[in-house]
Structure 1
Amino acid sequence: MNLRIAITSCLSVVLFTGCSDSSDIIATPEQQTLTLLVTNDDGIGAPGIDALVNGLLELDDVEVKLVAPAENQSGSSDKTTEGDLVSEDSATASGYQGVAVYGYPADAVNVALEDLGIVPHLVVVGVNKGHNVGPYAVTSGTVGAARTAARAGYPAVAASVSVFPEYADYDAAVILVTDWIKDNRDALISGSASADTVTSFNVPGCTAGEIRELVAAPLAEFISDDDIGRWFKTDCSLEPDSPPTTDFDALLKGHSAVTDVPLEL
């Protein structure tokens, strides 16, 4: 029973049976609004964050707060700016209103939490143009923003796709994020969701075939110079000869990967 129905029912019987105090009517987690803070490292006008915001707005009973860098800040890790920051009202490519911060992705998170007083249940970062796997996670502004949020005690999710526009499947990344939110909504609302690590999704850029199922995989410890860039596009029609062992290996084999990223890299 939702709150409105509960109150109406209570009023309808008050003359006959009385009514309990309104404090007895407690909304379930499904009825509470989920506050989501969205940021990225590609800038507020990038296509990935636009796709993400629009996808999040399709969820039931959510409030989306948008605070993102004014300009592309890829590769900035969790750097922050000393001194005051300039911010201004801005919007995504499709017009969702938010705040643009002239600084790094981690700066945008700090402005949202400290200056704007936003108290999110979850911080969502992306969708980034360019995968953030293995040792490259440490330089990622996307993962850096998520790590900054988690270090402040807020659960954080990051999502990344191929750097090549023709293979950048933003929709697939958004589905992974929204499914994760649905699965973890109760824990997020109750405050029991973990902020000990960052949940990082990477989606392969399939040149052929379909994206394979999501696999949980650790960060690759090493990627050789010869392998740099190989994960950006993949023939997903080829049958893998073995299960993925790392996030990098998962992309090479056409799988989306979900990885628990430590807060300190």
Structure 2
Amino acid sequence: MTFEHAGAGALDYLPCQYGTSKLVFRGPGRHLDRDYALFIGGTETYGKFIPRPFPSLVEEMTGIPSINFGCVNAGIDAFAQDATVIARARRARVIVLQVMGAQYVSNCFYSVHPRRNDRFITAHEPLRRLFPSVDFTEFNFIGHVLSALERRSPRRFDLVVRALQKTWSHRMATILHHMARPAVLLWLEEGPDHAHGFVTPAMMSELRPIAAAMIQVRCEEAAAQDNGGMVFTPFEATAAVGLPNAATHLRVAQDLSAVINDLSARGALKR
């Protein structure tokens, strides 16, 4: 396990790495071999700007030690091919897997950065043929690419969305199979359209049979609330907009703890 200098930010996230993984997770690092809950997810699971994110709160509420494998700007691709993540997952009592956006997966139309999945790497030939007038060298982020494509042609853009959804569904089913432990899917709904990450209730229903449980928390209210309990510098204020505040993290932790305690009472957790 290695640790990184936190820098001059308002919060010290105690960033750390495990094993051979190149991913940087939120600390503190935990030396646990088994009997832990593993939280896998993106910026929300990491708890950006939150002193005590929901993985830490769940540990307090359930008594099960937690390891936070939240990673800023990650999608499912960041974890699906990471041997350290899969190995840790296979030793966990329970896994909480955040539902991350379908736009952050490499697919037949484009590739994303292997760790910073919000970063656009390259457009593949099918996408160039579908949008021949678009100069893809102008883009660095997936969100900008997709917004531009939708403005150019909603009809052709829908073909891209369908490919993202198909790839995402396959990737999610694959990682759940590889982890081979009870997994709670955490779907943080943040609002309409792209904020959902193109994940639909039908896609979630397809995963339900291979998950131990599924929790859906509506977070769109957090964007309209004040940033109570969040810690950031003036320079970070824009980045904090729309992220779950401390009250939302508490609500997520309460819902997760209830489900995990129920699974434990029914003998569904691994040891």
Under a length normalisation based on structure 2, what TM-score does the superposition of the two structures give?
0.35
Higher strand proportion: 1
Higher helix proportion: 2
> Which structure has the higher relative contact order (CA within 8 Å, separation 6+)?
2
The higher radius of gyration belongs to: 1
